[in-house]
Amino acid sequence: MEFRLSERMNHLKASEIRELLKLTEEPDIISFAGGLPAPELFPIEEMKVISHKVLNDEGKAALQYGPTEGYTPLRKIIAEQRMKAVGVNATYENILITNGSQQGLDFTGRVFLDKDDIVICESPSYLGAINAFKAYMPKFVEIPMDDNGMIIEELEKALEKHPNAKFIYTIPDFQNPTGKTLSFERRVKMLELAEKYNIPIIEDNPYGELRFEGDMIPSIKSLDKKGLVIYLGTFSKTFCPGLRLGWICADKDILNKYIIVKQGADLQSSSISQREAAAFMQVYNLDEHINKIKEVYRRRRDLMIDMIKKEFPENIKYTYPNGGLFTWVTLPEGIDAAELLKIALRDKVAFVPGGSFFPNGGHPNHFRLNFSNMPEDKIIEGIKRLGKVLKENI
Ligand code: PMP
């Protein structure tokens, strides 16, 4: 059957890399490819208690439909605890519960984008966001980064050229894929530019609460007086991604647009997941849990960076993330990381080649390494294997 597909499907292609990365699921491969949290840190025993409690105390409501905006006690906890942790004063009326922040990204496309609209983003940017936006057929304008995140002079030039751009998409803290953080000065300037051009900022912040050292840099939303910032949050990296719970924090008018879109998409997020998350935070202390995660990830980051220093050839650069899940490796010009992955897989070690993080293509000489998901012995062995591949092929 030749289906008559929508035009958008021409823009959405399964990547070759995805096929290669399926191999990384084989048990003898040491994979630094995924963006997965450490499963041994999931609070399984606590969640057994919580799921029983939720079904026992409020089983009927937990298994029933609920409001599109989300379960009010959960929205309140998010406003009062999670948004406060990133410096934002919000009430539950500013919060819409989503199925992970990934749904917030898709909805952002639906709310803002028509074909050929301009999206401004970091270069490179989060692959899942690029794919979510691509369904709405925009054009991407990539802004180069340095160690302090998006280069603001470049952003300014892009805005002069594209004053009608629909939004600026940024991952300010411990960015996926580079691990870089946007400096405070640049956050202020980005907001000034957004105000000048009247362009919203989509602040996607799954990693902000996973800072290993140094002071928290206020979120862009916390500096926003005019309601230009639409903030995407998630419990995926600080709690459990399997619950599929994230949120959008924004001014009511624009949030209402997202609520309309959510009604059409799935009516609401899971009633039982929302109640479980809320009950967990009422009974246990999520901040303590986050501290445990940070401690483990910090050790893994330290170990990975130490091993890279020892095992990688000297002409290879890498970022030093102060939090989050990733470091970003830059190979000499002319080396294709996708080709290198094929060789690495033979030696049973995997990473994500960087090319797919650039929405307009190019830049094949990078790859992303995840340090959160592998135990320490595997980090040591995996980086040794990778070092050997690099030494032999570069
Ligand atoms: N944004 C970024 C930058 C991410 O890295 C991820 C997950 N890897 C997401 C959004 C989506 O996460 P979730 O839907 O699980 O909240």
Q: Judge whether residue 27 has pLDDT over 90.
A: no
Residue 373 CA: distances (Å) to CA of 6, 40, 295, 351, 383: 37, 9, 14, 12, 14
Hey, what CATH topology would domain 45-283 get? Aspartate Aminotransferase; domain 2 (3.40.640)
pLDDT at 303: 98
Tell me if 125 CB under 6 Å of ligand 1.
no
pLDDT, mean of residues 337-342 = 95
Tell me if 35 CB under 6 Å of ligand 1.
yes
Compute the distance between CA of residue 67 and CA of residue 270 in angstroms, rounded to an integer. 10
Q: What is the mean pLDDT of the chain?
A: 96
Q: How far is the CA of 171 from the centre of ligand 1 (A)?
A: 10
Structural contact between residues 172 and 208, judged by C-beta atoms closer than 8 angstroms: yes
Q: Judge whether residue 15 has pLDDT over 90.
A: no
pLDDT 10s digits, 254-274: 999 999 999 999 999 999 999
Q: How far is the CA of 60 from the centre of ligand 1 (A)?
A: 31
Compute the distance between CA of residue 280 and CA of residue 72 in angstroms, rounded to an integer. 15
Compute the distance between CA of residue 251 and CA of residue 382 in angstroms, rounded to an integer. 45
Tell me the residue length of the chain: 394
Q: How many CB atoms neighbour CB 339 within 10 A? A: 12
- Band of pLDDT at residue 131, cut at 50, 70 and 90: very high
3-class DSSP state for residue 56? helix
Tell me if 204 CB under 6 Å of ligand 1.
yes
pLDDT at 21: 76
- Band of pLDDT at residue 19, cut at 50, 70 and 90: confident
Mention every residue, 6+ apart, whose C-beta is less than 8 A from residue 351.
32, 33, 329, 337, 341, 344, 367, 368, 369, 386
pLDDT, mean of residues 25-45 = 93
Q: How far is the CA of 63 from the centre of ligand 1 (A)?
A: 26
Compute the distance between CA of residue 319 and CA of residue 301 in angstroms, rounded to an integer. 11
Pocket test for ligand 1, best of 131, 231, 236 (most atoms within 8 A of CB): 236
pLDDT at 322: 98
Compute the distance between CA of residue 324 and CA of residue 93 in angstroms, rounded to an integer. 29
> Of all atoms in ligand 1, which is nearest to the CA of residue 35?
8
Q: How far is the CA of 169 from the centre of ligand 1 (A)?
A: 13
Residue 143 amino acid letter: I
Q: How far is the CA of 101 from the centre of ligand 1 (A)?
A: 6
Structural contact between residues 372 and 38, judged by C-beta atoms closer than 8 angstroms: yes
Pocket test for ligand 1, best of 204, 249, 273, 328 (most atoms within 8 A of CB): 204
pLDDT at 237: 98
Tell me if 354 CB under 6 Å of ligand 1.
no
Q: Judge whether residue 14 has pLDDT over 90.
A: no
Tell me if 126 CB under 6 Å of ligand 1.
yes
pLDDT, mean of residues 76-88 = 96
Q: How far is the CA of 102 from the centre of ligand 1 (A)?
A: 6
pLDDT at 13: 80
Q: Judge whether residue 10 has pLDDT over 90.
A: no
pLDDT 10s digits, 268-299: 999 999 999 999 999 999 999 999 999 999 99
Structural contact between residues 326 and 367, judged by C-beta atoms closer than 8 angstroms: no
Strand partners, 327: 369
pLDDT at 17: 72
Cis peptide upstream of residue 39 (ω within 30 degrees of 0)? no
pLDDT at 129: 97
Tell me if 176 CB under 6 Å of ligand 1.
yes
Compute the distance between CA of residue 302 and CA of residue 283 in angstroms, rounded to an integer. 33
- Band of pLDDT at residue 326, cut at 50, 70 and 90: very high
| ipTM above threshold 0.95 | yes
Domain ranges, ordered by start, for the chain: 7-43+288-393, 45-283
Of the ranges 15-24, 108-117, 184-193, 207-216, which one carries the lowest mean pLDDT score? 15-24
> Of all atoms in ligand 1, which is nearest to the CA of residue 171?
3
Q: Judge whether residue 20 has pLDDT over 90.
A: no
Structural contact between residues 174 and 326, judged by C-beta atoms closer than 8 angstroms: yes
Q: How far is the CA of 189 from the centre of ligand 1 (A)?
A: 25
Compute the distance between CA of residue 180 and CA of residue 196 in angstroms, rounded to an integer. 26
Pocket test for ligand 1, best of 42, 98, 101, 247 (most atoms within 8 A of CB): 101
Q: How far is the CA of 203 from the centre of ligand 1 (A)?
A: 12
3-class DSSP state for residue 111? helix
Q: Judge whether residue 161 has pLDDT over 90.
A: yes
Selected from 3.40.720.10, 3.20.20.450, 3.90.1150.10, 3.40.50.300, the CATH number assigned to the domain covering 7-43+288-393 reads 3.90.1150.10
Q: Judge whether residue 22 has pLDDT over 90.
A: no
pLDDT at 11: 82
- Band of pLDDT at residue 357, cut at 50, 70 and 90: very high
Q: How far is the CA of 3 from the centre of ligand 1 (A)?
A: 32
Cis peptide upstream of residue 364 (ω within 30 degrees of 0)? no
- Band of pLDDT at residue 12, cut at 50, 70 and 90: confident
Mention every residue, 6+ apart, whose C-beta is less than 8 A from residue 188.
223
